[in-house]
Structure 1
Amino acid sequence: MDHQYFNVCRMIDKYNVISFDIYDTALLRNVLDPTDIFDLVSKSLEKENIKLINFKKMRIDAEEIARRVSLNEDVTHEEIFEIISKKIGRDLAEIVKQKELALERQFTIANPFIKKVYNYARSKKKRIIFISDMYLSDIFITNLLKENGYEGFEKVYISGIVGKSKAMVSLFHHIKEDMQIVTPWLHIGDNLKSDYENAKKSGIDAFYYQRHTVRNKLSKKLSLERSIIKAIQLNKSETEKTNYWEEFGITTVSSIFFGFTMWLAERIKNKNNVYFLSRDGYLPFLIYQKVFPYIQGLPKPKYLFASRRAYQIPNLLNMSKSEALEILTTFNIDLGQNLSLGEIFENLNLEHSKYLELIRNFGFPDFNYVLKTKRDVSNAKELLDRIFPDIKSNLEKELEILKIYLKENGIYDQSEVNVVDIGWRGSTQKAIMDITNIPTIGYYLGTTYNVYEDIIDKVNGYAFNLGKPNRNKKRIMDNVMMYELIFSASHGTLIGFNFENERISPVLSESENDAVNNCLSYIHNGILKITDEYLKYFDYIKTISMEDCLEDYFNFIEEKRYEDLAEFSKLRNVVGIGKSEIKQNYVSEVTIKEYLINKQQINQQISKNLWKNALIIKGSISDLHLLKKYRRTTINLINADLKRKIIKAIRNPKKVLYFIRRKVKSYYFIRN
């Protein structure tokens, strides 16, 4: 962004006259397709009990007819609605026309990047004009520019008013004559033909400002709600300086949180309470606070410190001993989890030194021993059974403090408790209900088929509930840690509570994962920033579908683009309950030689990565002869990538120079 800014500013220095295209350059619409405005007109009219059947088609057809019968190179808004008035009557046509203008105004924003360029041109005392191939009037566009902070320009030229267009080149010639321009002139615009090539044909120098939809290759037709949200995302991320993680938050995962919050709000409206459980409820809590003023009847939110360790472990007292021992020795092999004897004892606050001799009697050499076999698990259960009185004593103390904490937060004052978390099995919800004997309802991103039986009718899942639909469940649970990452708070995990001086305070783990916390800070900042923009269009996007909200992250995870893998390869995270310190990779990196020698072992390893099967294979050109049967696949991938970069290089040679130099030195191969 800075590089592009300095380039265009250097060009501005050489010219006396600077002209700007308007839409998709100086001004942006918060819809991806201009015709989406017509859909908005229909929806807005319906709220006023005015129903026009297929207005969008009527509006598009009317514009086409107006162009066919016009003797000029472009048409005006008035001419278009003159044709519409013949179908629906003049009075109604006037109402619809004003509605369209109002929505154009509401969905138009300034482009911060071009505004910065514009301000630079003004500071250099340049003559500034605006030019557009557009049907809206010059008066309307002039006011729109001023409303969005563009002041001090000389004139606005609109093709529909002048009757000449950039597309036919004649508008440039008309402006030269009208303004008697004889000095050097630079035009800045987003249309390769009209703004760049045709300006050049007219003897005007030009700067091609590439549109967001072109840069992001968005060609698929989207729902109206998603069109608005994607436009807001791109207009923010593409025109303001952000780092990788903030942009990731804005463009890739923010819609999940907005959609989840809208879904949640509908279900807890008019309820008495809602508790967001730490850590995975932290960001939903912040977004709910932003949404709260927009929806009547929502309960005020509270953030409740909670974790499986701090709630489920004390709640073992409400289970049979066999159930308790099962939970204490369970770990998820599919996620690559390990469980050492030391972790079990630490989660139960049992001093190692007191039991060292006893654990050896059960076949464990020390507390670092990791449970590997069914026999290990069986021995661990027998060991824990032997010392269960000690375990019970510790748990009774913890449970008493936990009850005080829940009472302080008003849980015992409720006839029904509503909790929000990322989900899966509902263990913390069950613990709250078991401990308080108060019906507790859970609201989650998703719940699996093995939800605890006594809460199976009290769970609600946004993306999937009780494992259905299976397609969503599989896509999320196959990469469950990718979702746990984006829902995580940057503060430590709750381990338990201290009770000192008649006060309860949460005990959080000391996080040493600076890389993850740093990225979470940027992700949250991006999500919260873009949520403020979403809320400006709340009435238009509040019904966005769950499928629309999930699609970006689904695609992100499945595509495994190199630039994303490279950033995630810098992260490692903990998988486990309580005081676990075992960290795992999101993405693995190996050399070509390593992959060829240990292919099977590496494939097994990466299937347990926190981003499943995410792998970067690196190597120099001298390594390519080792590829053997993989050679063709690798070279094809490399060549395809180079081809894309070379195409970009034609438009911007300097931008791709670094990439080509790097490619000459080393290649990469991404395994999906």
Structure 2
Amino acid sequence: MKDWFYDRIVRRNERIQKEYERYVRGHLEEHKQKRWKHWLVLLGLSWKYRNSQKNRIHTFVLVKQKKDSAKVRMEWVPGAVCYNIYLSTDGVKYHFLQKEKHHVCTLQGMGNGKMYFLKYKVSLDGRFYSEFSEVLTVSAVQNKELYFMEQLSQKLEKENGSSDIKGKNRNQNTAAGIMTAEAKQGEGIRISWKRAPGAIHYNLYRAEEGKPYIFLIQTEKDSYMDEKISGGMSYEYKLKYTGDGKKYHDYSIPVSVMAPAEKYRGGNSGPLPEKGAESAGDGRISFMHLAKGMMPYEVISFDVFDTLIFRPFEHSYDLFVLEGEELDIMDFCEIRRSAEEEARQNSRLKRGNREVTLEEIYDLVADETGIDPKEGEALEFSMECRLCYGNPYMLEVFHILKEQGKILVALSDMYLSAAKMEKLLSCCGYEGFDEIIVSCDYNCSKRDGGLYDVLKKKYAGRTIVHVGDHPVSDLESARKKGIDARFYQNVNEAGRRYRAKDMSYLAGSAYRGIVNAWLHSGRRSFTPYYEVGFVYTGFYCMGFCQWIARYVREHELEKVLFLAREGDIYQKVFQEMYPDIPTEYVLWSRIPVVKTTVRKNRHPYLLQIVHHKANALYKSMIGTLLERTGIGRLKAYLPDYRLKGEEFLTPGNEKVLRELLLDHWDEVCSCYEADDTYIRSYLERKIQNAKKAAVVDVGWSGNNVLQVKYLVEEAYGMDCRIHCLLAAARNVNDTYMAGMMQRKRVETYIFSNMYNKGLHDTHQEENKKLNSFFFEILTQSSTPTFVGFDQQGKFLYDIPEVENYCHNREIHQGTLDFVKEYQKRFRDFPFMLDISGHDAYMPFQYFSRNLLWLKKYFGNYIFGRDLFATGEEAVMESVSEVMKKAGLWEEGS
């Protein structure tokens, strides 16, 4: 009965479950002996916080008031251990008054002519408390309006000081200025303020709708972008500042703002850098300038993690996920993190500080998992050495300063001993530190200033500067101890606002960690096009090629044929990742496909050659079209259909030309007999002796790969079985590929109308169905489109888009660099290359939702789009023109 009740009522109501579990934890011994009492408490809580009341605020009632006392009644809560009462005389600042075991009590000392504000919290275990109750006002004031005016007058006098004291500044408790909050679609909420005189830093707090304030950030800046918000939620912010690091003052009254509702599904949207390249937007000085700026100092101290060395993740603790995988222990990451926190709490009680060693952490991990503590320690340190790598920016700084004979110190708040830290730094390329000072060896930290005292004592009389990424531990604490400091912004903090979201946990963390470190370390800056390859193309191409390789091995295929033109970058990435698998790059496009299948299927030919050309932006002359499609002899029939060779093909005369072709279809087919021979010979050269091969294309209908399969297996009868692989497939209409996909004649990596259908539908719906067009921009090669063979068997090409080639090469280089970097970081963990189609698509989805950025940097990209029949001087379409023709602008999309 209880289990049924718990499942049906309690687990479906977070507040009931939380409060009851707190009660049980506070009464564990009693729980074993007096189950009925706990059962009654559970029933009482289930009624008290039933679904219609689960967000209730506890009530507070005045029962009786005398001259100097007030009897009050707090709301009775089943199982309550105590009530903490808080008092205020101004309704703003509350202080603890007293603790009561019962929900009815009498408060003494209520003076005449005063007003009091009371509220309370209730606890079911004596440790954790509820939110504040409603406010109870106890008043012995005759005229409330006069009372509040007097209070306000006294406050102003206190803040401003006597008016007869000239030139004296206002008291620091005065609000220093006005704070503003602005919500930006897809970015977050930006909070801004003017600097307060004498302020050394600010503490910013945020409260969600109906919840208490939480600390957000401590900053020296005058603004902050809050990105961790939910669309459609209301938020309130307040700010405090300090002039000495000890006493804090309210800056202004809190500000409220409503976060705009999410524009897109899954929240996978946000800004791209206005300057185009992320790596150029940090404002980080060059490594040479940082090193030169520290030359006057005799001792240079470096923070270690996130400054000298990186982990290849967005969150450093994700390393524990891989450790848990090697140990084959579920939820090891949370066990390891909880053990560290528990060890720090134990240290605070025993030694008065929170410093611990790796050994102490694994003694607690062993209790939870049963592993040998020594083996656990060794494995974690091994993981650190295998995964951590040197920050290329700081490696340059380190070597410059080392060559100049500077004293170099590694200073870290860490549970690894100095000996382990020295070995780890050596693995990451740092040899020759004069001193390594770690918090666990000294039972003090940078944050509390103790480690800086150790540093100063060791190098007394010498000038010291410290470099690190944490604004408190590495800057504020160092300066408090009289040590100069240099700030190195954390790379993940710098890049987080630009990263794709809605990815699986581990792959997403690895992707974001690799990208953030590469772009924001400061070692190099890149062009926007290189970054498009590194950030938005590399992850997808790597995942696609891994998927292809797995398919090839599972089906024992002997060769992979990559179809032009997207196949160019696919083949480069594949050869980088799997050099042992034979590949070929095959020139292919829609035009040679339809030429080779005219006897099998007329529809694709008429669609590509007639309908699409009639409705293209730039028109083709009918005579030129017939010549360049290899059926020039049919021009003799034009007068019979009242058509002229110099006449442009339009929707108005499209049906007439179609009728001409259908009436002479046998002659059309005979015109392509030579093409058929050349294509057969070409495919034989590419396939050679392979008995089983894969044909790979980007998408979308599958026509290209299916036609290769038809030609090889049926039309030419070659002894080779073809497997058709696409990055993605999309429907022209609901029935277009239904049978083909159901039969699995084509396998897809990212999505189809059967696999990852949600992505398929989103891809189709957004950007006026131009997403496939944008997707191909990221993988374009620096070669023109292949359109067939001439009469001598030489290759024919469409008009080359030479204007794009320089940027295409940059995108390809960025793509290859990402693949190399990712493989390098996870060389010992090959399963990290197993990227799902959903994850691979997310960077592109994020990219495609920034249309103004895309238009700015790719607007002048041009595309032939089968313009072979428009003449050598044809003006080709640009991305901007395609977007404009589709009515696609970010403001209205």
Task: Give TM class, smaller chain.
Answer: 0.7 to 0.9
Q: Return the letter of the residue paired with 1:464.
A: F
Matching residue of 1:195: 474
CA contact (8 A) 2:787 2:797 kept: yes
Pick 1 or 2: higher relative contact order, CA cutoff 8 A, min separation 6: 1
- Is the partner of 2:445 in helix, strand or coil? coil
Matching residue of 2:514: 232
Q: What are the Cα deviations for residues 536-573 of structure 1, in whole angstroms up to 9, with x where unaligned?
A: 3152413332222211110111134x555421223222
Distance 1:84 1:579 in 2: 71
Q: Return the letter of the residue paired with 2:686.
A: N
- Is the partner of 1:423 in helix, strand or coil? coil
Residue 421 of structure 1 deviates from its aligned partner by: 0.4
Higher mean Cα deviation, 486-495 or 185-194?
486-495
Q: What are the Cα deviations for residues 505-552 of structure 1, in whole angstroms up to 9, with x where unaligned?
A: 6444452432x2111111111111221222231524133322222111
Matching residue of 1:78: 359
Residue 390 of structure 1 deviates from its aligned partner by: 5.3
Matching residue of 1:289: 575
CA contact (8 A) 1:329 1:344 kept: no
Matching residue of 1:426: 702
Q: 1:530 aligns with which of 818, 832, 835?
A: 818
Residue 289 of structure 1 deviates from its aligned partner by: 1.8
Structure index of larger Rg: 2
Matching residue of 1:213: 492
Residue 671 of structure 1 deviates from its aligned partner by: 5.9
- 1:95 maps onto 2:375 in alignment: yes
Matching residue of 1:491: 783
- Is the partner of 1:309 in helix, strand or coil? helix
Residue 333 of structure 1 deviates from its aligned partner by: 9.7
- Is the partner of 2:326 in helix, strand or coil? helix
Q: 1:273 aligns with which of 559, 569, 593?
A: 559
Matching residue of 2:312: 30
Distance 1:356 1:498 in 2: 18
**Residues 380-399 of structure 1: matches in 2 within 5 Å?**
380-385=657-662, 388=665, 391-399=668-676
Residue 339 of structure 1 deviates from its aligned partner by: 5.8
Give me the identity figure in percent.
Answer: 22
Q: 2:538 aligns with which of 243, 247, 254?
A: 254
Matching residue of 1:575: 865
**Residues 175-190 of structure 1: matches in 2 within 5 Å?**
175-180=455-460, 182-190=461-469
Q: 1:584 aligns with which of 871, 874, 877?
A: 877
Change (3 A) 1:207 1:613: farther
Change (3 A) 1:494 1:343: same
Q: Return the letter of the residue paired with 2:471.
A: L
CA contact (8 A) 2:623 2:635 kept: no
Matching residue of 2:176: none
Distance 2:331 2:478 in 1: 38
Residue 224 of structure 1 deviates from its aligned partner by: 1.2
Distance 1:162 1:325 in 2: 81
Change (3 A) 1:66 1:53: same
- 1:223 maps onto 2:502 in alignment: no
Matching residue of 1:513: 802
- 1:242 maps onto 2:519 in alignment: no
**Between Structure 1 and Structure 2, how many residues are aligned?**
578
TM-score normalised by length of structure 1 = 0.78
- Is the partner of 1:330 in helix, strand or coil? helix
Q: 2:436 aligns with which of 152, 156, 159?
A: 156
Residue 138 of structure 1 deviates from its aligned partner by: 1.2
CA contact (8 A) 1:131 1:156 kept: yes
Distance 2:860 2:669 in 1: 41
Q: Return the letter of the residue paired with 1:433.
A: K
- 1:544 maps onto 2:835 in alignment: yes
**Residues 585-624 of structure 1: matches in 2 within 5 Å?**
585-587=878-880, 606=883, 608=885, 613-614=888-889
Q: 1:316 aligns with which of 595, 598, 607?
A: 598
**Residues 466-485 of structure 1: matches in 2 within 5 Å?**
466=753, 468-477=755-764, 478=769, 479-485=771-777
Distance 1:458 1:417 in 2: 14
CA contact (8 A) 2:781 2:808 kept: yes
- Is the partner of 1:23 in helix, strand or coil? coil
Distance 1:195 1:586 in 2: 47
Change (3 A) 1:142 1:337: farther
Q: What are the Cα deviations for residues 319-352 of structure 1, in whole angstroms up to 9, with x where unaligned?
A: 35x664344213299996866536632541355x
Distance 2:495 2:772 in 1: 27
Matching residue of 1:634: none
Distance 1:390 1:545 in 2: 48
Q: Return the letter of the residue paired with 2:413.
A: D
Matching residue of 1:435: 711
- Is the partner of 1:25 in helix, strand or coil? coil
Residue 21 of structure 1 deviates from its aligned partner by: 0.9
Matching residue of 1:56: 333
Distance 1:485 1:459 in 2: 23
Matching residue of 1:139: 419
- Looking at secondary structure, tell me which structure has more helix per residue: 1
Q: Return the letter of the residue paired with 1:348.
A: T
RMSD, aligned CA: 3.1
Residue 579 of structure 1 deviates from its aligned partner by: 5.6
- 1:18 maps onto 2:300 in alignment: yes
CA contact (8 A) 1:188 1:208 kept: yes
Matching residue of 1:633: none
List gaps (5 residues or longer) in structure 1: 47-51, 589-604, 616-669
Q: Return the letter of the residue paired with 2:673.
A: E
Distance 2:614 2:334 in 1: 55
CA contact (8 A) 1:569 1:586 kept: yes
- Is the partner of 2:611 in helix, strand or coil? coil
- 1:462 maps onto 2:749 in alignment: yes
Residue 174 of structure 1 deviates from its aligned partner by: 1.4
Distance 1:114 1:587 in 2: 42
Distance 2:533 2:322 in 1: 27
Residue 92 of structure 1 deviates from its aligned partner by: 1.8
Matching residue of 1:128: 408
Change (3 A) 1:481 1:195: same
TM-score normalised by length of structure 2 = 0.60
CA contact (8 A) 2:587 2:786 kept: yes
